[in-house]
Amino acid sequence: MAATATLSSKFQISIPKPVREAQHWQAGQEFVFIPKGKGVLVMPLPDLSDLAGLAAGARDEDYRDREDRF
């Protein structure tokens, strides 16, 4: 799906309707902008309820930490 948008003088961009519909994005939804090289990754912020239980069953011992990296 190729869709384009233009940055306004107020630094706003309207997300094209085919993109909004394909991603099921709604008005008022919050997004995070993650810089990636010369571009940016746009992702909706998840609801906290969607994250509940995400780490269930994760091991809490014998894991790598930042100090273990080279």
Pairing of strands 39-44, 31-36: antiparallel
User: pLDDT-derived band of residue 34, with 50, 70 and 90 as boundaries?
Assistant: very high
* Distance (Å, whole) CA 54 – CA 7: 36
Q: Is the pLDDT of residue 31 over 90?
A: yes
Q: What pLDDT was estimated at residue 46? A: 86
Q: What pLDDT was estimated at residue 28? A: 94
Q: Is the pLDDT of residue 70 over 70?
A: no
Prediction pTM value = 0.62
Domain ranges of the chain: 20-45
* Distance (Å, whole) CA 39 – CA 47: 25
